Amino acid sequence: MEGAGGGNSLPSTSGADAVKRRVSYFYDPDVGNYYYGLGHPMKPHRIRMTHSLLEKYGLLDRMKVIHPQLARDRDLCAFHTDDYVAFLQSAKPETLTNPCVARRFNITDDCPVFYRLFEFCQTYTGASVDAAKELNRCNADIVINWSGGLHHAKRSEASGFCYVNDIVLAILKLLENHDVSPLLVPSLLSSSFHRSFCVSVFHSLLLICSFLICLQRVLYVDIDIHHGDGVEEAFLTTDRVMTVSFHKFGEYFPGTGHILDNGYGKGKYYAVNVPLNDGIDDESYHYLFKPIIAKVMEVFNPDAVVLQCGADSLSGDRLGCFNLSVKGHAECVRYLRSFNVPLMLLGGGGYTLRNVARCWCYEVYWSLHVEVNDKMPDHEYLGYYGPDYNIHVATSNMENKNSRKSLDDIKAKILDNL
Ligand code: V1D
Ligand code: CA
């Protein structure tokens, strides 16, 4: 897969060779300490494993490494309701005694209240929102936050291991440039005639400028094995955000993401769902991914792309049932990067920890476009990667339940809608 053609390198703004990109990587050293509880498959420790691998490979020296700010309550309220944010803020494992409250906010075994839950939400969300600001300021071509990508969280409900939807908040931040600046102008001017004249001239100029500089359209692509329901729902009625999710469909969490679900009102045809079956391999996946994404890029022409890189679509995942290799997964990153549009990479699911770290580390390689040494350097967590200690591991011989006919039908239907 590596070095495969079929990319879409357009002239780059940051390098004539259309290869080099400025990459900013967001990491809070505390994130690996959060713990969902005994027996829970979601383990933030995988973010620390990935970071340690990146460090020992020398990749941190090739990126701008940023310690993100914690998101504030009012940042979260840009999407979530005040009462849900207040609940998260006060929730403690020892005080959650009222079953009605737990039911109201969907606090279940999937989404338990654990020690310092709110700080965890602030940490991963702060990193995604700061990553969006970094793109808005044109400080980077690619921004990365492996602790983000919690795509199931709803406006006033936790779901599928997700509490705050950092993706929705990051996309809102990307789209925000547009609206806020004119509000700042009146306070800058004093005399009243002068002021009203200047204000209207200034407003017109700002309006023109904001159309030139603001992000009008954001594309969201989701390669986690689960449907990206929370993000799709948030933007279901707008034509400024297109959501595209590839996922296992049929008796699988969360149960949404039918191919015929494609948005409402102004958002009709701006939600794309690609339902897949067990055992899909790299070749079948890209038989759909590439033509669908190529058409989306052509017709939607986004100003920025947010890619949720859930690693539970990898072969051998503890909760997943796909058969993608690390190269096949990373090929999605390589392909999207080749369009030379500002790109945000986020984490998501991924429950076989050693493969998550392998995959996200390799995706940083692809972001930077540097050589990869398959043999891992010695580091704190090397023991996880035995007996081979390589980045790349074999996929399985499981059956691919996606026939060529079913893939052709899905492709035809989706390309037709687009
Ligand atoms: F196996 C478990 C052990 C403990 C707690 C939960 C689970 C578990 C496994 N799979 N929970 C699930 C899924 N939930 C259900 C519902 C519970 N039943 C009553 C139905 O099947 C949730 C899977 C969430 C996947 C999250 C994600 O990978 O998409 C993700 N993306 O970003 C962050 C996480
Ligand atoms: Ca998905």
- pLDDT-derived band at 177 (thresholds 50, 70, 90) equals low
20 φ, ψ to 5°? -70, 140
Residue 14: per-residue pLDDT:
45
Tell me what pLDDT residue 98 has.
83
CA of 184 to the centre of ligand 2 (A): 39
Q: Compute the radius of gyration of the chain from its Cα atoms.
A: 22
- pLDDT at site 1: 39
CB-based burial label for 331 (10 Å; 0-12, 13-18, 19+)? buried
pLDDT of 210 strictly over 70: no
* Residue 222, phi then psi, degrees to nearest 5: -130, 110
Q: Which ligand is nearest to the CA of 151?
A: 1
> What tens digit of pLDDT does each residue of 301-323 get?
999 999 999 999 999 999 999 99
Q: Tell whether 384 is in a known binding site.
A: no
User: What is the pLDDT, as a whole number, of residue 161?
Assistant: 98
Pocket residue to mutate for ligand 1, from 110, 164, 251, 329, most atoms within 8 A of Cβ = 110
Question: What residues form DSSP beta bridges with 273?
Answer: 245
Above 70 in pLDDT, residue 254? yes
Question: Is the model's pLDDT at 54 over the cut of 80?
Answer: yes
Q: Which ligand is nearest to the CA of 349?
A: 1
| For range 5-32, the mean pLDDT | 70
312 annotated to bind ligand: yes
C-alpha distances in Å from residue 130, one per residue of 29, 55, 68, 352: 16, 21, 6, 28
Measured CA distances, 86 to 76, 155, 156, 168 (Å): 10, 13, 11, 19
> Would residue 152 show up in a list of annotated catalytic residues for this protein?
yes
What is the pLDDT, as a whole number, of residue 214?
A: 59
Q: How distant, in Å, are the alpha carbons of 53, 57, 151, 356, 375 from that of 48?
A: 9, 14, 21, 11, 19
What residue type is 209 in one-letter code? C
Options 152, 227, 247, 286, the catalytic residue: 152
Q: Which tens digits make up the pLDDT trace of 87-138? A: 999 999 998 778 898 999 999 999 999 999 999 999 999 999 999 999 999 9
E strands, 55-169, where? 64-66, 142-145
Mean pLDDT across the chain, nearest whole number?
Answer: 90
Going by alpha carbons, the residue nearest to atom 15 of ligand 1 is: 253
CB 257 within 8 A of CB 378: no
Give the residues across from 26 on adjacent strands: 66
Is a pLDDT exceeding 50 seen at residue 236? yes
Q: Is the CB of 226 under 6 A from ligand 1?
A: yes
Phi first, then psi: give them for residue 343, nearest 5 degrees: -130, 130
Please compute, for residue 171, the number of CA atoms within 13 A of its CA located in the half-sphere on the CB side.
28
Decide: 222 in ligand 1 pocket, CB within 6 A: no
Ligand nearest the Cα atom of residue 311: 1
What is d(CA 338, CA 7) in angstroms, rounded to the nearest whole number? 6
Q: Is the CB of 151 under 6 A from ligand 1?
A: yes
Q: What is the mean pLDDT of residues 181-202?
A: 41
Q: How many CB atoms lie within 10 A of CB 302?
A: 22
Distance 379 CA to ligand 1 centre (A): 31
User: What's the rounded mean pLDDT across residues 259-263?
Assistant: 98
DSSP-derived secondary structure for 219-274: EEEE-SSS--HHHHHHTTT-SSEEEEEEEE-SS-TT----TT----GGGTT-EEEE
Q: Of 170, 140, 149, which Cα lies nearest the Cα of 47?
A: 149
Give the pairing of strands 142-145 and 23-26: parallel
Pairing of strands 218-222, 343-346: unpaired
Residue 394, helix vs strand vs coil: coil
Cα(180)–Cα(383) distance, integer angstroms = 50
Read off the pLDDT of residues 362-396 as tens digits, 9 standing for 90 and up: 999 999 999 889 999 999 999 999 999 999 999 99
Q: By percentage, how much of the chain surpasses pLDDT 70?
A: 87
Q: Which domains does the chain have, with CATH numbers?
A: 25-178+213-417 (3.40.800.20)
User: What is the rounded distance in angstroms from the CA atom of residue 43 to the CA atom of residue 36?
Assistant: 7
What is the spatial distance between Cα 418 and Cα 414, in angstroms, rounded to a whole number? Answer: 6
Ligand 1, atom 7, lies closest to the CA of 110
Output the pLDDT for position 351: 98
Least confident of 43-52, 109-118, 184-193: 184-193
Confidence of residue 201 (pLDDT cuts 50, 70, 90): low
Residue 314 φ then ψ, to 5°? -80, 155
Task: Report whether residue 162 contacts ligand 1, using a CB cutoff of 6 Å.
Answer: yes
